[in-house]
Amino acid sequence: MTEPDMLILRNVQKTFNPGTTMQKTALSGITLTLHKGDFVTVIGGNGAGKSTMLNAIAGTFPVDSGDISLNGREITHLPEHRRAIFLGRVFQDPMTGTAASMNIEENLALAIRRGQKRGLRWGISSRERALYREKLASLELGLENRMGSRVGLLSGGQRQALTLLMATLKKPELLLLDEHTAALDPKTAEKVLRLTNQLIQENGLTALMVTHNMKDALALGNRTIMMHEGNTILDLDAEQKRHMTVEDLLAQFEKVSGRELSNDRMLLTR
Amino acid sequence: MNFAQLLNQLPGAVAQGLIWGVMAIGVYITFRILDIADLTVDGSIATGGAVAAILITQGVHPWLAALIAFLAGMAAGAVTGVFHTVMGIPAILAGILTQLALYSVNLRIQGIGTDLGSRANVPLSINKYKNMLVSLRNVGSFTLENPIWLMLLITAVLIGLMYWFFGTEYGCGLRAVGANPQMARAQGINTNSGKLTGLMISNGIVAFCGALMAQYQGFSDVSMGRGAIVIGLAAVIIGEVIFGKLFRNFALKLLAVSIGAIIYYLVIQIVLWLGLNTDDLKLLTALVVALFLAAPHWKTQVRIRRTKGGEKL
């Protein structure tokens, strides 16, 4: 039995700086369907369009053509803040996902109201605080005792963990993870990745995770897609993933794309 | 000027500082919370003065006049907000455009009821309009008529209101818009409408200050806002430099802004007493604000140089 469709990208195209020397086709008619509960890892070389795809779904910019639907809803022309109602997002840069000058509990309070009307009630209730304390404790970073600290004082790993918590505090229909461990040291990256997997499993989330680490891409999730020049060139299901090694994957890439996979970050982590 | 005369001037400096402090709190909202340097204020403060002065001369109660001035300021802020968000004009330029346009608008407002239909100055004598809220005539008195008392009350109420507003769900969202717009959008906050609201509230407060100022000085003048943004910034920065380490709470930070404005006017009185020509005041103010604005930049430069030295090992 297959789950219902959660995300459908239909022939989505995006070209940056059209008509200039900087012209770059980032998405070249990509079509992709995610079922409810899918945890899809995305890999690909430099400029393959991985981040662009995530940003197109999130509404950071309008796409040139094609359409995007989420949980049966057409969202192609919805502005970014309206799509946010359905989406949880974690960015590559730990600075992006949180407000540095606000404290931990204020950031969480902003996140739990994602998609709700923000009125003139007090910004944080004491009932919420208990929930935040409990959720923060589950991160095992000691943040539950620092709820009044400004987020700017936290380390990159702590900020990413907090952003993950914020993205899932109010259950999103789709979780978008854009190389969210790339800026972290290996040990912290592993910790954040474990937390990511745990949150996705516990909440039964549908997720799309871009990663530069092929091992992680194969080990996590129930599906892996590889992108090249703005489109998918490889789509592996859970069964295929199980029998695939990083070397196999690289060989596959060369076969399908006709060239060697180049990804600056990947070279460093292999 | 001898020392006794200086002492005589001080209550006036405090009252003036408290009035400008109201404007500085408005500036704080855009400059520190929304991270926008909004130059609309030079125009909207005069708009507030013009609206209040005209209404008071027409027999409207000064409180009501000040409230309407607040609304006029909000409208001015909305214009800048639309320039910035809908028309995509950089915030600084959007503010300059509104400020310029307001000069004409303010002449017209002040000209209401005159034959020419435009006027640079509206006199507001306390002898004629006895129910005015504040007047510099009473600044030396020890009665409740002294404008310092009412200004203290207004400042306290304003800080309380702002503390409440920026603590609400909506206000927290506004703070997020200034702190990290990308994060705000990812949390479903419309950053454009947030900026618009913030600009409106800020300029409303600034115009309210203009209404008080016109009553205090006994006239409204079309150029009374010249350099207001710099005085507002000076108040914000002085407050932060002196109380930054001490005041962490939002209400206290606003209080620091108000105290910063008072200190600014006290310092002005002292340098005037020391013999500075009034004509050179704006030059001095601009240079002092430039120095204070440069301080955080220089601090990081020093830090970078120190780390470089450390790596030479």
**Contact status of B170 with chain A (Cβ, < 8 Å):** yes
- Tens of pLDDT, residue by residue over A140-181, are 999 999 999 999 999 999 999 999 999 999 999 999 999 999
Q: Are A16 and A45 in contact (CB under 8 A)?
A: no
**CB-CB contact of B77 with B202 (8 Å):** yes
Measured distance CA(A232)–CA(A213) in Å, rounded: 17
Instruction: Find residues 162-201 of chain A whose CB sits inside 8 Å of chain B.
Output: 166
Flag if A118 and B172 touch (Cβ within 8 Å).
yes
Reported as a pLDDT band with limits 50, 70 and 90, residue B311 is: very low
- Judge: A122–B169 Cβ closer than 8 Å, yes or no: yes
Query: Is A122 close to B190, i.e. CB distance below 8 A?
Result: no
> Which of A121, A84, A56, A69 lies closest to B182, judged by CA?
A84
CB proximity under 8 Å: B 217-256 to A: none
Give buried/exposed letters for B176-203 (b at 16+ CB in 10 A, else e): bbbbbbbbbbbbbbbbbebbbbbbbbbb
| A98–B contact, CB cutoff 8 A | yes
Question: Is B173 within 8 Å of A110 when comparing Cβ atoms?
Answer: yes
* Confidence check: pLDDT of A269 > 70: no
B168 with A97: Cβ contact below 8 A: no
Q: Do A110 and B179 touch (CB under 8 A)?
A: no
Per the prediction, chain B carries an average pLDDT of: 94
Measured between alpha carbons, how far is B245 from B128 in angstroms, rounded to an integer?
A: 47
Cβ-based contacts of B173 with chain A (< 8 Å)? 110, 113, 118
Taking the CA of residue A104 and the nearest CA in chain B, the distance in Å comes to 13
What letter represents residue B261's amino acid? A
Which residue in chain A is spatially nearest to B175 when comparing CA positions?
Answer: A102
Structure tokens at B284: 């001095």
pLDDT at B80: 98
Alpha-carbon gap, residue A211 to A265, rounded angstroms: 10
Of the candidates A197, A202, A204, which has an alpha carbon nearest to the alpha carbon of residue A181? A197
Give B-chain residues touching A116 at CB under 8 angstroms.
Answer: 188
Residue of A nearest to B176 (CA): A99
Specify the CATH number for A5-86+172-269; select among 3.30.30.10, 3.40.1080.10, 3.40.50.620, 3.40.50.300: 3.40.50.300
Q: Are A229 and A49 in contact (CB under 8 A)?
A: yes
Report long-range pairs for B94-98 (Cβ below 8 Å, ≥24 apart). B94/B40, B95/B37, B95/B38, B95/B39, B95/B40, B95/B41, B96/B39, B98/B40, B98/B43, B98/B44
Confirm if A227 and A236 have CB atoms less than 8 A apart.
Answer: no
A111 Cβ under 8 Å from any chain B Cβ: yes
pLDDT in tens, A35-83: 999 999 999 988 899 999 999 999 999 999 999 999 999 999 999 999 9
| Domain boundaries along the sequence of chain A | 5-86+172-269
The reported pLDDT for the residue numbered B194 is 98
Domains of chain B, by residue range, sit at 12-225
Q: What percent of chain A has pLDDT over 90?
A: 85
pTM (whole model) above 0.95:
no
Among chain A residues, the shortest Cα distance to B190 is held by: A81
Q: Highest mean pLDDT range out of A186-195, A207-216, B77-86? A: B77-86
Contact B79, B98 (CB under 8 A): yes
Degrees, nearest 5: CA angle A208-A214-A215: 105
Q: What is the pLDDT confidence band of residue A1, given thresholds at 50, 70 and 90? A: low
Return the SS3 of A93: coil
Instruction: Inform me whether the C-beta atom of residue B33 falls under 8 Å from chain A C-beta atoms.
Output: no
- The yes-or-no verdict on residue A259 having pLDDT over 60 is yes
Summary mean pLDDT of chain A = 93
Q: Is the pLDDT of residue A268 over 50?
A: no
| pLDDT exceeds 80 at position A270 | no
Cα-based angle B151, B236, B238 (whole degrees, multiple of 5): 100
Q: What is the pLDDT of residues B113-167, one digit of tens each?
A: 999 999 999 999 999 999 999 999 999 888 888 999 999 999 999 999 999 999 9
Residue A73 forms contact with B (CB below 8 Å): no
Of residues B6 and B216, more confidence is placed in: B216
Q: Helices marked H in A7-155 — which ranges?
A: 50-58, 80-83, 104-112, 126-139
